[in-house]
Structure 1
């Protein structure tokens, strides 16, 4: 498959790119700072652009079988603005223009899925996030709304506590209050889950929570 990846220089994004290449996919990574992506591979194309550059983003997406977005908001309390929301809107528009429908991305259990049953996370986590990371919470809400309000065939994996640990291969997924989902998860396993969604149809137009 040909996959366009956004957020490719982040902790999860770099692992997504590496995992896709290891699996034999062709990857187009759109980055603002190519120096942060140290991978080199004959099937990797790196495009340097601001993620609000609609023309470049559209060309990066054109011809892709799917898009994986590992974008996430800054957790700095001083952060302002909506760069991740704006980037996501640009990506969604580019996909609509080019006819690419499959989008795989990230969010947190601060946001609910209609399939969730009563659970403490959607009640407690937004309160904590609003106090500690108010701008990040707003970004998460708005970037997710840009995707779920579109006609895209999306899967948004909700993660709570990503860790820099080796992959375990043990991944739980499902919906809060219904399936047994924990909190902590290695970034390597998060990346692996995102890649499996290229062919897994269980969570089409859904936001599963995932954990180790």
Structure 2
């Protein structure tokens, strides 16, 4: 498959790119600083550009079978603005323009999925996140709404405590109040889950929570 990856230089994004290449996919990685993605592969195309450049984003998305976004907001309290939300809207618009329908991305359990049942996390996490990372929470909500409000065939994995531990291969997924999903998860396993959604139809137009 031909996959376009945004956020390819981040801790999860780099692992997504490597997993895709290991699985034999053709990958287009959109980056601002190529030096931050020290990978070379015959199936890898690195596109340098800003996500504010609509034409560059459209070129990167054109011809893709799916898009994986590992974009996420800064957790610095001093950060302001809606840069990540705006970039996600640009990606969605480019996908719609080029009839690329499959979107796989990330969010937080602070945001609810309609399949969730009432759960303590729905009360605690949004309050805690709003106090500690108000702009990041607003960005995550904006990013998510940009995707779920579109006609895209999306899967958005909700994560809360990513670590740099090695992959375990043990992945829990589901909906709060229904399934036994914890919080901690290695970035390698997160990347593996995102890539697996290319062929897994269980969570189409859904936002499963995932953990180890």
Paired residue for 1:145? 145
Query: 1:122 aligns to what SS in structure 2?
Result: helix
Q: Following TM superposition, by how much is the alpha carbon of 1:102 offset from its aligned partner in structure 2, in angstroms?
A: 0.1
Paired residue for 1:72? 72
CA deviation vs aligned residue, 1:16-52 (integer Å, no higher than 9, x gap): 0000000000000001111100111111000111112
Coordinate RMSD, CA, aligned: 0.4
Query: 1:169 aligns to what SS in structure 2?
Result: coil
Paired residue for 2:122? 122
Runs of 4+ off more than 3 Å: none
CA deviation vs aligned residue, 1:146-166 (integer Å, no higher than 9, x gap): 000000000000001000000
Paired residue for 2:43? 43
Kindly tell me the number of residue pairs found equivalent between the two proteins.
212
Q: What CA distance in whole angstroms lies between the structure 2 residues aligned with 1:50 and 1:120?
A: 39
CA deviation vs aligned residue, 1:69-114 (integer Å, no higher than 9, x gap): 0000000000011111011000000000000000000000000000
The aligned runs of 1:13-162 (5 Å cut-off) are: 13-162=13-162
The answer for unaligned runs of 5 or more in structure 1 is none
Q: What CA distance in whole angstroms lies between the structure 1 residues aligned with 2:203 and 2:55?
A: 30
Q: TM-score by structure 1 length?
A: 0.99
